[in-house]
Amino acid sequence: MMRLIKTDFKKVSYLQGYQNFLLATLLLSIIFSITFLFTIDLTAGKKLAELSSIEMIDITLLGIDVTAIMFIIFTANFISKEFLTGAIHTSLAIRPLRQKYFLSKILFIAKLSFLVSIILTCTIVIIDYFILTVNSMDGLLFNHALLVKLIGAVIMPVFYSLLSVAGTFYMQSASGGIVFASVVMFIPALIKMFPTNFSDSILPILPESSLQVFAEINTNTINEALINAILILLLWIFIFNLLGFWKFIKSDF
């Protein structure tokens, strides 16, 4: 299984198309982070100098949404390419255990998305620190609440990437993975348009609410809401990847 993961990393390091996509992901995420920050006077009616350091972090971390969307697309295309080109036949002929093949894809995507998320989150924090320093504003206070926010930012692209894995394996197409993960990401906005008694009963079980817990935490302890959020995210990943794996082992290649 480790050889399969190493092979996937070699594909990314050797193929120019994958490198360009990941570079675009990094650049677009940073550009959108900066854009969100410097247009805050238009979107929220606040001046940059009026923002606290934690508000600045919250705004610039919105760029991680771009990372999640880009990784949904990357994941679906990366996995579906093996179905389209027939490379999956070779992979399964060499290692016929489908559970190892499936798990190797999950681990590869998780590792890659985690690495890119870490790089981007650290870059955004550095940019925020630079802007705060240049404008003589209050510096960043690295406490438990901020650390949880940053962890949530890192988790988000990883989570949606793994949902894209599930959708791609289940539908065995890039469009299936992209549509499934995108619907999960954006459907809360639609549900919020329904009456409160309906939306309030549905939203807590959706991933967006759990991810939002990381962003809104303001205590120095791990509370019940945070634990519940982690469990909900893990359940989403487990259940839908289990369905994806079930469809994968039932398919005739």
Q: Cα 199 from chain centroid?
A: 24
Q: How far apart are CA 127 and CA 116, in angstroms?
A: 16
How many domains does the chain contain in total?
1
Residue 217 structural domain: 2-250
The band of 233, judged by pLDDT with boundaries at 50, 70 and 90, is very high
* Mean pLDDT for the stretch of residues 205-214: 91
Given pLDDT bands bounded at 50, 70 and 90, which one contains residue 29?
very high
Instruction: Give pLDDT tens digits for 133-152.
Output: 887 777 666 777 788 889 99
What pTM was estimated for this model as a whole?
Answer: 0.91
What is the predicted pLDDT for the residue at 222? 60
Query: So what's the pLDDT on residue 237?
Result: 96
Average pLDDT over residues 221-226: 73
Rounded Cα distance between 162 and 72, Å, is: 8
Closest by CA position to 234, among listed 180, 165, 159: 159
DSSP secondary structure of 183-205: HHHHHHHHHTTS-HHHHHHHGGG
